[in-house]
Amino acid sequence: MAFIRITNDDRVTLIDSEVFNLTLSEKGGLSFVWTSDDGWHASIVYTAKSELPPLIALSCSTHHISLLSTKKTGNVYTFVIIAIGALGQNPNFSANYFIFDSGELTIEGTGNLIIRNKDGYVTFDSDKKYLTVHSLQTFPSFNYRDWRDPFPSNVIIETPLERKYATVVNKIGYLYVEQSTSGEVDLTWYYDGIRVSPGSISRSFDMFDSRNYNTMGANFTRNSTDSQYMIVDVTGF
């Protein structure tokens, strides 16, 4: 049970003295490269400062992007970010990332307001920039039946113009289709992604990769999943 708990008018807990809150640990621009396996993608390598996993938030104003994979080796995390629907040989990307980490245990703080847990460790320091959640957005899976099914329409979420946002990918949405016609097997991958613009956030679902093989005996196969994105406020970060 917390010694100190701060809630807003809706009784949502903002600060709990027994919870280690995530603070901004690293930020930077995303540099995208193209490969035949991953298409247009960017990779970020980060060394966590605690045993708890860090979170990476993404913000791109030119393309829809998403977190494809996270690889953990010891306390080193490798994040692979993909661009959805990026066209041309050299698309002009404008994208940034923000990594939030619970940090190393400490009993010292520098802010005007410092909150410690029952063991004396700092769980809130007003000098640090904390992860602040705006909303949680969930999108249903694509019920694909055949190639004539229309793609899901883009979803637009309006946001305050004066604020800056990024997205944490809790779960990427995808559709995988495998079908055979006259001995040719077509494999197609679709993903969804988020684009962050001033005043709005949009979600798009589009083809990411398609490959063809000559073989016999393949059946029609498909599987898909829904997606979930956490919108976070990075104003002033």
Tell me, yes or no, whether 107 and 19 share the same domain: yes
Q: What is the pLDDT of residues 19-32, one digit of tens each?
A: 778 899 999 999 99
Query: Which tokens hold the place of 206?
Result: 């589009």
* pLDDT for position 214: 56
**Domain closes at, from 83, 118, 133:** 133
Question: What is the percent of the chain with per-residue pLDDT over 70, rounded to a whole number?
Answer: 91
Distance CA 185, CA 187 (A): 7
**Statement to judge: residues 153 and 121 lie in one domain:** no
Q: For residues 72 and 98, state if they share a domain.
A: yes
Whose CA is closest to 167, among 143, 140, 201?
A: 201
Q: Which of 10-14, 93-97, 158-162 has the lowest mean pLDDT?
A: 10-14
Range of the domain at 53: 5-133
**SS3 at position 76:** strand
SS3 content of the chain, % helix, strand, coil (to 5): 0, 55, 45
Q: What is the mean pLDDT of residues 209-227?
A: 71
Look at the chain and report how many structural domains it folds into: 2
Same domain, 148 and 36: no
Report pTM.
Answer: 0.85
Q: Average pLDDT, whole number, for the chain?
A: 85
- Per-residue pLDDT tens over the stretch 97-149: 999 998 888 888 888 888 888 888 888 888 889 888 889 999 988 776 665 66
Residue 95 has pLDDT above 80, yes or no: yes
Burial class (CB in 10 A: 0-12, 13-18, 19+), 32: buried
Residue with tokens 């490969």: 35
